[in-house]
Amino acid sequence: LSDANADVCVLCGIGGSLVCCDACPAAYHVRCVGESHRVAGASRWLCPEC
């Protein structure tokens, strides 16, 4: 059983430790998307496209 999010970073195409968008299938490395998009303590995270 797999989740609905991508297995590789949308920006660099490499797998690893990814942050998954809660509104679409996109997934990103924090270093690729930039930590400014990550809200500490937030229960949901939306990618730059959402």
- How far is residue 18's CA from residue 20's CA, in Å, rounded to a whole number? 6
pLDDT at residue 42, as a whole number: 67
Give the residue ranges of the chain where pLDDT is below 50.
1
Residues 33-43: pLDDT tens digits?
886 655 566 67
Using alpha carbons only, how large is the chain's radius of gyration in Å?
Answer: 10
**H or E element in which residue 33 lies:** helix 30-33
pLDDT at residue 36, as a whole number: 60
What percentage of the chain exceeds 70 in pLDDT? Answer: 78
pLDDT at residue 41, as a whole number: 63
The CATH fold of domain 1-50:
Herpes Virus-1 (3.30.40)
pLDDT at residue 1, as a whole number: 43
Listed in sequence order, the residues at least 6 apart from 50 whose beta carbon sits closer than 8 Å to its beta carbon are 21, 23, 24, 26
**H or E element in which residue 32 lies:** helix 30-33
